[in-house]
Structure 1
Amino acid sequence: MSATEATGAARGARAARSPRDRRTARALWTWALLVAVSFAAGAILHALGVLTIDHLPPLHGHFRVPPLTLLPAIVFGGAAVLFLPALTARLGFRRALLVSYGCALAWTTLLAISADGLSAPLTHPQEYPAVLPMVGDDPLGWLASFTRRLPEYPTHVRGHPPLPVLVLWSLAALGLSGPLWAALLVVAVGCSATVAIALTVRELAGERAARRALPYLALTPASVWIATSMDAFFAGVGAWGVALLVLGGRAGRRGRIARGAGWGAGAGVLLGALPYLSYGLVPYLLIPVVVAVAARVPREVALAALAGASAVTAAFAAAGFLWPSGVLATHAEWAADPGAARPYLYFLFANLGVLAMLTGPATAVGLARPGPGGVRAVVAAALVAVLALDVSGVTRGEVERIWVPYALWIGLAASLTPGRRWLTAQVVTGSLLQGLVLSPW
């Protein structure tokens, strides 16, 4: 080949790549602009006194100088970028799941202990553990009076249904009381979403797609708020609800109807528990609906899931807690809270800037690229759910924790950007968020 021909071939190759490169550049600029404008507008509003309860809007935190204690997390993140993709590609699938789960646990824990420690967020007087003395030895009595006594409770309890408190009460009843055990539960369940989502992706798009997703799930920037916000626990419960649904569908399609129905009932119990963990998880239920359609879950399994979810609702009603009454009481408390005075239009935009930070730049690039239809469908469902919450106006700030259950699914788009540089970008984003932001969670 002559020099002229070689030059022409190189130009042709660059031209062929240019549409994808332009899409990548646009996605990155959009991501960066969304984040930058959110902070710039927030700083102006804070300086003008419009935002008084947020010191680093759109985040509910403070700026800080990165501590030296962050160094172990950075080193681990760099090592994971080098080795995790190869391990998840070559190991047996079950081992790949275990390695990814271990990586998620280590990354999340190292991020957390670089600040005030793993359990520090759950020691705040406005967090769920603070109300456990009021539950005492009578959880059913406490549950029956929950709505009536709502104004007496700490902020996070007033803003949520009663199930998070009952989960922590059950943990204490097993002899595992205290904020450290609660933090360990939150991190263990939150990080397990890595496994559950990968299992779901395998049913939707095949094992190869699931293996590609594992490193991005384990090293998501959202890990900053997986340790230790109860919303990470919610994320794990929801992810396993979806995973059990598709596993039940798999068994049902293979003729194992009874086993499939059992998985489906378990999925229904977990998914039915979501509205009793957080009112903001109602739109999340769009995800299992879309997954059930995409995975062609048999009717028997779907009906079993509905039965499981109905059983949860019936159990709470029998115990004296009616979900609609809880919603109305919580809305009244929210309306009287200073958070309700936050400007709607700013957070309508800035909440999406926070979502961009939680999902990272690789997700923005992945959203601009083609991918398996099943993965696209579940990412779209999570995006629609987030937009519904955002437009509702009940999520005005503090969404860095509220978005966690949704961000893990949206972050699947990052797996459509193969190459270590994008995984590196995710780790850098998480490290910067942990290093520069002093968050109460």
Structure 2
Amino acid sequence: MTLTETHGRAEAAERRAGRGWPGWAAVAVWAAAIAAAFTVGWYLRRAGLATEDPLPPLHARAREWPPPWRLLPAAAVAALAVAALPALAARLPWRALPPVAWAASAAWTVALAAGDGWDALARPLDAPTEYPAGLAQLRPDPLEWLRTFTERLGGYTTHVRGHPPLPMLVLWALEKAGLGGTGWAAALVIAAGTSAAAAIAVTVRCLAGERAARAAVPFLALAPLAVWIATAMDAFFLAVAAWGTALLALAARGGRNRALAPAATGGLLLGCLPYLSYGLLPLFAVPLAVVVLGRPRVRALVAAGAGLVVVPAAFTLLGFWWPDGVRATLDTYLVSRGSAQRSYAYFLFANLAVLGLLTGPAVAHALPRTLARLGRGALWREVLGRGPRSRAFAPEAAVAALAGAALLGVLVLDASGVTRGEVERIWVPFAAWLTVAAAVDRSRVRAWLAAQAVTALAVQALVLSPW
């Protein structure tokens, strides 16, 4: 029996198992956990123990029921996507599929946000707490601003205080290119964030094969996390991480002479992550999984390492020392009357319920099978026992490793206690990778896609978020 036949029989057996009670039990737990998180949050707020957020665990408030027609464009986009995406994913030539995933994700994201009017696409970035409000302090002398970033941190806007300096420098560069204003900033965030659907599909194809990537595309495009891609800067962080990881996967798959450029570029993008958000460090579990699964050549690893150090070296030479930034941000976090005052015990649990909102019921249904795959010794024997250039790898094992790496990153960050609330945006770079787990169960695809879309529409209808 060939390795492919063995994988095929294992997939068939696991698919039959996935239709049983573990998946449905997980969906019940998913729904109960979300309900419990909002119920306990309501009780804590009523008791005066959680007063910062009007609708804990979300940093949002309940909205008045909007006119039904406002959700019609998003519902129409969802219906079209549910009907067409599975067929397109199965039949289109591969080179056309990543752009289709990007376009579908962008249409879904924009349709959801436009339910509050077209100005809602840029409105979140107009808030006085957001990055653009701090550009006036950067414009006179960006190099001086960078050199003195940590010592002057207390005088900056909320989001600037909570992050390293690279997001601000990206917006400044956009402005210098003649694309100033929050409209262009929102366009950058949405275009970049939705492109992650294409990047993750490329990564899945490199590691798990084309069939798994095609199965993942509809779920990547129609993910509930689209509610928070417009317009949180974390969607831009998602794109940088996703394309850096995709290029690393392409380097692992490429030949000797075609691996160096994607490896170096991927390393360069991944080296940006700690300078975009301190909370992105645990996300390195995903590119690490790509290295373990893909086993790139030594030359590609050296090129990726060289690219990885470029951004840290540049920031250090220009006067920003990353550990000082971490300490300064932590100091401002602890003395503030904001996130540090929230209940650690409540958000330790509630943050994971919010992750469930971002990923949707289809991922909950697939998660028991994914985690079971990760827990089997056969997976690790398969990873460690392959030859250095072997491409034979069970597709579901690769998908499970990617989703499991993202989940591990979430759990580490959640346990750290620095993510007490507002994770509906913070989890976006992690949740997108968890979405690929939905591709392991290829039964009732349209029904699960519809459930994903209904989840997003319900959140958009009931919750008014600042992002």
Indicate the TM-score class for this superposition, using the shorter chain for normalisation. over 0.9
Aligned to 1:277: 276
**Secondary structure at 2:55's aligned position in 1?**
coil
| C-alpha distance in structure 2 between counterparts of 1:198 and 1:240, whole Å | 10
Aligned to 2:414: 390
Q: Which AA in structure 2 matches 1:439? A: S
Query: Do structure 1's residue 194 and structure 2's residue 197 form an aligned pair?
Result: yes
Alignment of 1:297-336 (within 5 A): 297-336=296-335
Bigger shift: residues 195-204 or 128-137: 128-137
Q: Which AA in structure 2 matches 1:298? A: R
- C-alpha contact 1:168 1:182 (8 A) present in aligned 2: yes
Q: Could you tell me how far 1:17 is from its partner in structure 2?
A: 6.1
Q: Could you tell me how far 1:291 is from its partner in structure 2?
A: 1.0
Aligned to 2:52: 53
| C-alpha distance in structure 1 between counterparts of 2:17 and 2:103, whole Å | 38
Q: Identity of paired residues, percent?
A: 52
User: Residues 99, 19 of structure 1: CA spacing in aligned structure 2 closer, same or farther, 3 A cutoff?
Assistant: closer
Query: Please, which runs of 5 or more residues in structure 1 have no aligned partner?
Result: 1-15
| C-alpha distance in structure 2 between counterparts of 1:22 and 1:222, whole Å | 26
Aligned to 1:401: 425
| C-alpha distance in structure 2 between counterparts of 1:178 and 1:440, whole Å | 18
Q: Please, which of 138, 142, 147 is the counterpart of residue 145 of structure 2?
A: 142
Q: Please, which of 432, 436, 439 is the counterpart of residue 462 of structure 2?
A: 436
Aligned to 1:411: 435
Q: Could you tell me how far 1:255 is from its partner in structure 2?
A: 2.6
Aligned to 1:364: 364
Q: Could you tell me how far 1:130 is from its partner in structure 2?
A: 0.4
Q: Deviations over 1:221-276 (max 9, x none)?
A: 0000011100000000000000010111222xx232xx312211111110010000
**Secondary structure at 1:368's aligned position in 2?**
helix
Q: Deviations over 1:289-344 (max 9, x none)?
A: 11111111112111211111111111000110000000000000000122101010
Aligned to 1:426: 452
Q: Deviations over 1:269-292 (max 9, x none)?
A: 100100000000011111101111
- C-alpha contact 2:125 2:131 (8 A) present in aligned 1: yes
**Secondary structure at 1:229's aligned position in 2?**
coil
Bigger shift: residues 316-325 or 17-26: 17-26
Aligned to 2:90: 89
Query: Do structure 1's residue 375 and structure 2's residue 415 form an aligned pair?
Result: no
Aligned to 1:236: 239
Bigger shift: residues 41-50 or 59-68: 59-68
- C-alpha contact 1:362 1:417 (8 A) present in aligned 2: no
User: Residues 19, 372 of structure 1: CA spacing in aligned structure 2 closer, same or farther, 3 A cutoff?
Assistant: closer
User: How many residues in Structure 1 have an aligned counterpart in Structure 2?
Assistant: 422
Q: Could you tell me how far 1:19 is from its partner in structure 2?
A: 7.4
Bigger shift: residues 168-177 or 133-142: 133-142
| C-alpha distance in structure 2 between counterparts of 1:52 and 1:325, whole Å | 31
Q: Which AA in structure 1 matches 2:340? A: A
**Secondary structure at 2:309's aligned position in 1?**
helix
- C-alpha contact 1:231 1:402 (8 A) present in aligned 2: yes
Q: Deviations over 1:79-132 (max 9, x none)?
A: 110011101110111212111211111110111111252100000000000011
| TM-score, normalised via structure 2 length | 0.89
User: Residues 198, 18 of structure 1: CA spacing in aligned structure 2 closer, same or farther, 3 A cutoff?
Assistant: closer
Aligned to 2:110: 109
| TM-score, normalised via structure 1 length | 0.94
| C-alpha distance in structure 2 between counterparts of 1:430 and 1:305, whole Å | 37
Q: Which AA in structure 2 matches 1:422? A: W
Aligned to 2:343: 343
Aligned to 2:99: 98
CA RMSD of aligned residues (A): 1.3
Aligned to 2:223: 220
**Secondary structure at 2:295's aligned position in 1?**
coil
Query: Please, which runs of 5 or more residues in structure 2 have no aligned partner?
Result: 1-14, 371-394
| C-alpha distance in structure 2 between counterparts of 1:28 and 1:17, whole Å | 17
